């Protein structure tokens, strides 16, 4: 019965909002004229509020206006069209995306503060949710099938330079780039780098990989070496370390972001090449 | 576990001196040289001529087009857009309002204009008209109205959209545009949540794009942002893009209009 | 029909700086289209500037000049009322002349 | 802003006459030097223009950006204190076609010219000054062309 009521409400919401709007051009008029009716429905159906929305109130947190979020999603549904490989399914958010849409501080800073300080965060529900979602992301990380974490730094540099992939103008099935230079400084010679993320110049060198011997030892102990594990993990799924970081999850797909036959942005082989770019003492990053 | 991760955190300890200042200074020099003469002026001239020219199935000019300050008033109209129009019953940005005028006055088919590609045919016309109209507000402060409840609603929706994370890369507008002084590659990323950043962004489109050698409108700018965001394609003059424009325009309140701009 | 140039003049004493924006594709002849075919060169080849009917400068341009070209030079010994005329001609035989008067 | 642009009246006999005169001048006096614009290297280019090997001169001052955010539009300028300059030749050394432009100067213009040109990659910009006595000088400056935009 409850489910039926919810379904009815969903249909009610949709029919009231989609009435005049098949061009996507008259939506605001539609929202305007139906506004009070819609508000009334929402007030009467307070416990069912979220059924109009993609949002789950337990995820979005209580400080957000569910009516507004629901309106926003209606506007989104009317405003976008699938093009090339960019289908409308991309607008469906997973729990991490939903939650992080409500966390509005900037999360890509170069400061060392980790958003996941368990001391302060576990005292409140947002903190608990953050930790829960972070662990979900951590569980998504796969280790390399062959136990080898490293590839070729020269290929890694090309992947780091390449910012293409997954847009509606990129051909389906084309190889995606890593976008690394968009946000990070990596090598000494490339001056065209962004500053949304921290500098990764001398990433390996600054973390103790001072010689080829050290590097080769780490290669051997990849599965148990903390630096290898951390670097691999961040490249595979940055959200496992800092939930709302602006860095994409390069090696995993969540249930909701299971776009394009479930393919992550980068393959495991590409991520291995990026590992070498960051860690190999012969890489331009560690020059 | 978290302690170990902290030591190696990608954020933080890897800071080394970056030669950013010299690069930024050199880029500023490059941009300054091009500001001396902006090819967008060529499109302003075309837009001005198109505004006055009898065109469309009804062979009329746009001299009676109401951009919000009354029929035919162009000066100062752009810094008060998007706004609510009672004749259409919705909030419109400059480009959607131009479509209304081209339909009502000149007899063009609205849906055809919406379905065209950017930079082609009548859509290039719209971009040129937008360049002209925006140039007629040069130096004026933004004053995008929030008097009508629908205008306030559109602002709130625009803000939600700005922070909405989705797609293959988990990006939102906010991912790149909520901090001061950041770049993507060498391009400055304005902080669109501040008046200065929103003024710089909203107040300089339409702009001449060096990389494409053409005039780009705000609608085209937003569409390409969504492309890079790995979202599906926003429809031209769709409510989502207009809501975002309201968000940006209101955030830019008091900032001086400098369009048409010149961009990479 | 070609679009008009934008000519700006800034005089200081007897020197006048001439800034010209021209509307032209300036296709380099090096670029490939989506199907991989070279887009044929289409560029302004000749530019001529006259002051009161007398030639003061000519130029030959290749496909390496940027799209919507910007070109600046300085006239000497100018006075108010002098009339500058600028003409370009491209490799398709299209041409355009615009004028400006020194104030 | 000083803006005295005027649209040409297409039917003006005066302008039409001037146009004819101008084009006539261009064909007779200079003639487009296609060979020079076909040259693939700087040396080939000097040869096709019949120039002596230019000598580097500090009296040529170039104004170029150190870094170009986009190689499609790079503003370059040359000025000189050398006397009696007859021609400026602008080159971008590493372009597939190095020759950008030739300016034939007269005494009615100052020896300063500014132009926007394309850089296919990081390259030296070279400005060659040919004087009326036939002597040839040059100056060069590197412009770094960077990758830009989200697409890399």
Q: For residue B24, name the pLDDT band (cuts at 50, 70, 90).
A: confident
Task: Give the highest mean pLDDT range of A165-179, B150-164, C24-38.
Answer: B150-164
Q: Which residue has the tokens 């992301």?
A: A137
pLDDT at position B162: 97
Q: From 2.60.40.2470, 1.20.120.1200, 2.40.10.220, 3.40.50.2300, which CATH number describes the D34-145 domain? A: 2.60.40.2470
- Please tell me the distance from the alpha carbon of residue A95 to that of residue A137, in angstroms, as a whole number: 10
For chain D, the domains span 1-31, 34-145
Residues 6+ apart with CB under 8 A from C41: C27, C28, C29, C63, C91
Cβ-defined contact of B26 to D147 (cutoff 8 Å): no
Alpha-carbon distance A97 to A41, whole Å?
Answer: 28
Computed over every residue of chain B, the mean pLDDT equals 91
- Domain limits for position B157: 2-263
Q: Is the pTM of this model over 0.90?
A: no
Contact C6 B36 (CB under 8 A): no
DSSP H or E run through D100: strand D99-105
The SS3 of residue D85 is: strand
CA distance C21 to B259: 18
How sure is the predictor about C1, in pLDDT bands with cuts at 50, 70 and 90?
low
Q: Would you kindly state where each structural domain of chain C is located, as residue ranges?
A: 6-101
pLDDT, tens digit (0-9, with 9 covering 90-100), for D54-83: 999 999 999 999 999 999 999 999 999 999
Distance CA(D136)–CA(D45), nearest Å, equals: 14
CATH code of the domain containing B141: 1.10.760.10
Report the C-alpha gap between B229 and C14 in whole angstroms: 54
| Chain D, window 73-92: residues with a beta carbon less than 8 angstroms from a chain B beta carbon | 73-75
pLDDT digits (tens, 9 = 90+) for B105-156: 999 999 999 999 888 899 999 999 999 999 999 999 999 999 999 999 999 9
Contact D113 C72 (CB under 8 A): yes
Query: Is residue A286 classed as helix, strand or coil in its secondary structure?
Result: helix
Name the more confident of B162 and B17. Answer: B162
Residue B55 is classified by DSSP as: B
Of the candidate ranges A133-147, B235-249, D21-35, the one whose mean pLDDT is the lowest: D21-35
The reported pLDDT for the residue numbered A124 is 73
Contacts of A162 in chain D (CB under 8 A): 152
ipTM of the complex as predicted: 0.84
B229 with B173: CB under 8 angstroms?
A: yes
Q: How many CB atoms lie within 10 A of CB D17?
A: 11
Q: Compute, in degrees rounded to 10, the torsion defined by CA atoms A216, A220, A226, A228.
A: 70
Q: How many CB atoms lie within 10 A of CB A66?
A: 17
Pick C6-101's CATH classification: 1.20.1250.20, 2.60.40.10, 3.20.20.20, 3.60.150.10.
2.60.40.10
Smallest Cα–Cα separation from B209: which of B194, B221, B200, B219? B221
How many domains are there within chain B?
1
pLDDT tens profile A190-213: 999 999 999 999 999 999 999 999
pLDDT band at A262 (very low <50, low <70, confident <90, very high): low
Task: Out of C48, C67, C76, name the one closest to residue D109 (CB).
Answer: C76
Chain D partners within 8 Å of B29 (Cβ): 65-66
Segment D107-126, tens digit of pLDDT: 999 999 999 999 999 999 99
Better-scored residue on pLDDT, B9 or A243: A243
Residue B173 designated active-site: no
pLDDT of residue B240: 98
Pick from B169, B185, B226: CB nearest A193: B185
- Looking at residue A219, its pLDDT comes to 84
The per-residue pLDDT for A65 is 76
Q: Do C64 and D110 touch (CB under 8 A)?
A: no
C10-40 per-position pLDDT tens digit = 999 999 999 999 999 999 998 898 889 999 9
Please determine, for residue B215, whether its predicted confidence score (pLDDT) is greater than 50: yes
Contact: B34, D75; criterion CB under 8 Å: yes
- The arithmetic mean of pLDDT across residues A107-115, rounded, is 39
**Residues of chain C contacting B45 with CB distance shorter than 8 Å:** 3-4, 6
Domains in chain A with CATH codes: 2-79 (no CATH), 112-286 (1.10.760.10)
Higher-scoring residue by pLDDT: B76, A25: B76
* CA A90/CA A258 separation, integer angstroms: 8
- The pLDDT confidence band at residue A140, using thresholds 50, 70 and 90, is very high
């Amino acid at each position: 019965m409850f489910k039926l009521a919810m379904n009815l409400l969903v249909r009610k919401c949709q029919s009231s909002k989609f009435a005049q709007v098949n061009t996507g051009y008259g939506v605001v008029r539609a929202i305007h004229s139906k506004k009070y009716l819609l508000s009334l429905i929402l007030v009467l159906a307070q416990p069912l509020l979220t059924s109009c929305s993609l949002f789950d109130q337990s995820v979005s947190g209580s400080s957000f206006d569910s009516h507004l979020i629901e309106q926003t999603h209606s506007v989104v549904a009317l405003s976008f069209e699938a093009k090339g490989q960019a289908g409308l399914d991309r607008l469906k958010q997973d729990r991490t995306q939903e939650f992080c849409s409500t966390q509005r501080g900037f999360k890509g800073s170069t400061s060392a503060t980790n958003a996941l300080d368990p001391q302060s965060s576990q005292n409140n529900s947002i903190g608990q949710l953050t930790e829960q979602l972070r662990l979900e992301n951590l569980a998504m990380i796969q280790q390399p099938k062959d136990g080898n974490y490293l590839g070729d730094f020269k290929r890694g540099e090309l992947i780091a330079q390449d910012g293409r992939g997954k847009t509606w103008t990129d051909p389906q099935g084309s190889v995606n780039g890593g976008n690394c230079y968009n946000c990070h400084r990596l090598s000494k010679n490339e001056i065209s780098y962004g500053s949304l993320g921290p500098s990764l110049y001398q990433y390996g060198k600054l973390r103790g990989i001072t010689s080829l011997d050290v590097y080769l030892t780490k290669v051997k102990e990849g599965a148990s070496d903390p630096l290898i594990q951390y670097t691999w993990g961040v490249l595979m799924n940055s959200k496992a370390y800092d939930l709302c970081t602006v860095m994409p999850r390069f090696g995993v797909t969540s249930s909701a972001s299971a776009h394009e036959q479930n393919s992550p942005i980068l393959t495991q082989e590409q991520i291995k090449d990026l590992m070498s770019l960051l860690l190999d003492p012969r890489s331009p990053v560690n020059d | 576990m978290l302690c170990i991760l902290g030591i190696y955190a990608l954020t933080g300890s890897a800071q080394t001196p970056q030669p950013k200042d010299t690069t930024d200074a050199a880029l500023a020099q490059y941009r300054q040289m091009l500001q001396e003469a902006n090819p967008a002026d060529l499109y302003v001239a075309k837009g001005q001529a198109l505004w006055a020219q009898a065109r469309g199935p009804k062979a009329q000019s746009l001299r009676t087009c109401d951009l919000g300050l009354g029929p035919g008033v162009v000066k100062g109209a752009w810094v008060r857009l998007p706004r609510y129009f009672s004749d259409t019953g919705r909030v419109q940005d400059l480009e959607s309002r131009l479509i209304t005028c081209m339909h009502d006055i000149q007899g063009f088919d609205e849906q055809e204009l919406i379905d065209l590609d950017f930079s082609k045919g009548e859509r290039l016309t719209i971009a040129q008209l937008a360049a002209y109209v925006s140039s007629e507000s040069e130096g004026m402060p933004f004053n995008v109205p929030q008097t009508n409840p629908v205008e306030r609603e559109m602002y709130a929706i625009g803000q939600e959209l700005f922070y909405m994370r989705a797609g293959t890369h988990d990006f939102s507008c906010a991912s790149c545009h909520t901090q001061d002084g950041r770049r993507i590659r060498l391009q400055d990323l304005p902080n669109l949540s501040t008046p200065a950043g929103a003024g710089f962004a909203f107040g300089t489109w339409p702009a001449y794009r060096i990389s494409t050698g053409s005039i780009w409108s705000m609608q085209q700018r937003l569409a390409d942002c969504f492309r890079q965001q790995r979202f599906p394609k926003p429809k031209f003059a769709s409510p989502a893009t207009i809501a975002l424009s309201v968000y940006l325009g209101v955030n830019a309140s008091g900032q001086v209009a400098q369009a048409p701009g010149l961009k990479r | 029909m070609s679009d008009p140039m934008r000519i700006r003049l800034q005089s200081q004493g007897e020197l006048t700086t001439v800034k010209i924006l021209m509307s032209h594709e300036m296709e380099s002849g090096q670029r490939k289209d989506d199907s991989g075919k070279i887009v044929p060169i289409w560029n302004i080849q000749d530019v001529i500037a006259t002051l009161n009917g007398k030639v003061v400068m000519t130029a030959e341009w290749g496909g390496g000049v940027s799209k919507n070209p910007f070109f600046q030079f300085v006239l000497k010994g100018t006075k108010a009322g002098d009339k500058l005329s600028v003409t370009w001609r491209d490799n398709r035989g299209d041409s355009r002349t615009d004028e400006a008067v020194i104030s | 802003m000083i803006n005295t642009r005027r649209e040409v009246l297409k039917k003006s006999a005066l302008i039409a006459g001037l146009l004819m005169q101008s084009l006539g001048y261009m064909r007779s006096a200079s003639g487009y030097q296609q060979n020079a614009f076909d040259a693939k290297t700087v040396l080939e280019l000097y040869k096709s223009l019949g120039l002596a090997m230019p000598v580097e001169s500090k009296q040529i001052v170039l104004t170029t950006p150190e870094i170009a955010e986009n190689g499609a539009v790079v503003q370059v300028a040359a000025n000189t204190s050398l006397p009696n300059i007859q021609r400026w030749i602008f080159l971008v050394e590493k372009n597939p076609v190095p020759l950008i432009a030739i300016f034939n100067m007269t005494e009615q213009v100052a020896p300063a010219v500014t132009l926007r040109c394309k850089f296919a990659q990081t390259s030296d910009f070279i400005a060659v000054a040919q004087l009326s006595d036939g002597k040839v000088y040059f100056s060069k400056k590197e412009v770094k062309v960077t990758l830009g935009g989200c697409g890399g």
